[in-house]
Structure 1
């Protein structure tokens, strides 16, 4: 340690002597290099000021007393600055660690969601889910069972950040344990509600819409737990209507029943499920109207389902200057034949 101090003292003395003699840019460049040495040796700002005073007193004899005394003030200032700087560095290091951990968690969360295609000639499925931050509070699911039926779900955790993301993961695992209830939307939501009510805080709850399409009878069965209404497109009439279903949000009360509704899908008809991150997008500073979303879907309805959801997302993302304010999830299921 003592050798290090002697080495730094000599380096600084040589650098300062050179600068006082030449006033050259080259000497100032050496000062910049010395700052890197300071960081490597973990020198504090007050140690640097003290080093400067010691060297300067040796080079410039008989310094005025007030000049020497002024360094006392500078030392105190640097001590305060040094403490604040070290605290800032510690907080920054901690923040970087948290950012790294969140990135890993976000990747793990993404791996829990479905990403492949459904190989079913009678169904065209498109989906997009984009988090506003690293972690998402939205959940979506689609699955093809052994009978060729398709289950689709969209959910939104009322909350932000890691707690919301953990709740989303809980919903995914609960869904995986209830394969026998996927064909009964109302019963499935009742089971999920009991899981949510037991496992999340009272100030959090989850909205969800789940649907089940049977390509044998072309019926779409669905139920909602307080979720944002979707849309139904009628190809024959070229019209849209809201996909409405009543039901209490998940997690409020254990004893809740959910009504199951159904509708028939004809060729070309499609179902739209979404979260409020879509309906609460802002266009020209105002929340988008549901009618505007319908018009966007209408503009792209001739495209495959995946292309429709992609185009709508890009259009709304651009309208918000590429800054999402909430998690964005949009899913379309269309009957092809």
Structure 2
């Protein structure tokens, strides 16, 4: 006796018992049969056919219309069975993909992880939150042989896995630069050649790179089309844009970048960010840069890490706790 014959016999016994007693114990037998049907891959339409045949065996005088109704139900369940199996297959594939993305996100986090250094004369605050599991933003710190600190922040135009792969490539390229090649314009020109050669033409990367020299307190910087940051001049009590012109990475391998500099005085602040900060969308539209400055002003009495944490919570709340883009914010505050 094959498995389907055994199941048919079990079904007939359970159906007969239920129609006779109609109690909870009889219904429980039906649940056990249901689990066995799943275990042995017996389709919904086979169960309908089994039910019809066993009911006719138990009650040979069933009205013709009742018998015929099972044929209709059988056709309905055949279509349902096909759709159900496709649904289960898609769910299984989705679960596999979700698991793979979770692993990839953990690997990416490990690959892109960078230690926030202790910088002489500067307190540092950093927050970077992906809109999805994979981050299309990247920030980087590196110390050269002279004790100068290189600070990079990059953003792929796009989100998800392709953006994350691009960021991993930027990280590798950054780590491959010689220690004496951390001058901002040279860094961007080197990375630009890497991106132009290796990244799909439809993808572009913006990047801001700065170098802080703790000996003369000079901050040198260059930008490849990145969102301008802010500079707070404590003596004047004013904010200005860290506006550095430059073409996005990957557009033209011969691009040259212009370098700028500022001398950081006690109380001054350097604010670097990705466009996920300035393009925070509320019910009234995108927030203005002036609004962001006002938020910073209200928190200026705090340490940089507290400032970035507070700003993130405020902007997240304004977006109903749904980030639409990767969010990265860095604040450097000169010791008084």
1:55 Cα deviation after fit: 1.3
Once residues 222 and 321 of structure 1 are traced to their aligned partners in structure 2, the CA distance between those partners, rounded to angstroms, is 35
Equivalent position of 2:254 in the other structure: 255
**Unmatched segments (≥5 aa) in structure 1:** none
Decide whether the 8 Å contact of 2:282 with 2:318 is kept in 1: yes
Runs (5+) with no aligned partner, structure 2: none
Give the aligned CA root-mean-square deviation in angstroms. Answer: 1.6
Question: In the alignment, which residue of structure 2 is the partner of 1:319?
Answer: 318
User: Residue in 2 aligned with 1:73?
Assistant: 72
Query: Residue 295 of structure 2 corresponds to which residue in structure 1?
Result: 296
How does 1:192-231 map onto structure 2 within 5 Å? Answer: 192-231=191-230
Name the CA distance, whole Å, in 2 between partners of 1:332 and 1:258.
24
For residue 6 of structure 1, report the CA deviation from its aligned partner: 3.1
Q: Which SS does the other structure have where 1:154 is aligned?
A: strand
Q: 1:61 offset after TM fit, Å?
A: 1.6
Task: Provide Cα deviations, 1:249-280, integer angstroms capped at 9, x if missing partner.
Answer: 01111110000000010012111111110011
Q: Which residue of 1 aligns with 2:234?
A: 235
Task: For residue 146 of structure 1, report the CA deviation from its aligned partner.
Answer: 3.7
- Equivalence for 2:271: 272
Length-normalised TM-score, structure 1: 0.95
Q: Deviations over 1:62-94 (max 9, x none)?
A: 223333233222222212111111111111111
Separation of aligned partners in 2, 1:149 and 1:73 = 79
Is this contact kept in 2: 1:197–1:253, CA < 8 A?
yes
Secondary structure of 2:179 counterpart: helix
Name the CA distance, whole Å, in 2 between partners of 1:235 and 1:33.
Answer: 75
* Aligned pairs, number: 336
- Aligned partners of 1:286, 1:292: CA distance in 2, in Å? 12
Closer/same/farther in 2, CA of residues 181 and 291 from structure 1, 3 Å limit:
farther
Counterpart CA distance in 1 for 2:207 and 2:134 is 18
Show the counterpart of 2:176: 177
1:154-169 alignment to 2 at 5 Å? 154-169=153-168
Measure the CA separation in 1 of the matches of 2:269 and 2:145. Answer: 22
Distance, in Å, in 2 between the alignment partners of 1:235 and 1:30 is 79
CA contact (8 A) 1:181 1:188 kept: no
Say if 2:57 is the partner of 1:58: yes
Provide the residue aligned with 2:14 in structure 1: 15
- Counterpart-to-counterpart distance in 2, 1:107 and 1:192: 25
Q: Deviations over 1:80-127 (max 9, x none)?
A: 111111111111111111111111111111112234331334221111
**Equivalent residues of 2:116, 2:141 under 8 A apart:** no
Aligned positions of 1:77-226 closer than 5 A: 77-180=76-179, 182-226=181-225
2:144–2:180 CA contact under 8 A, matched in 1: no
Deviation of the 1:180 alpha carbon: 2.9
> Which segment is superposed worse, 105-114 or 142-151?
142-151
**Does the alignment pair 1:282 with 2:281?**
yes
8 A Cα contact 1:226 1:248, kept in partner: yes
Runs of 4+ aligned structure 1 residues displaced above 6 Å come to: none
Distance 1:106 1:204 in 2: 20
TM-score of the pair, normalised by structure 2: 0.95
SS across alignment from 2:254? coil
- What is the CA–CA distance in structure 1 between the aligned matches of 2:223 and 2:119, rounded to whole Å? 25
Give the Cα–Cα distance (whole angstroms) in 2 for the partners of residues 270 and 29 of structure 1: 70
| Corresponding residue number in structure 2 for 1:333 | 332
Q: Which residue of 2 aligns with 1:307?
A: 306
Residues 165-217 of structure 1: per-residue CA shift (max 9 Å, x gap): 11111111111111435531011101110100011111111111010100101
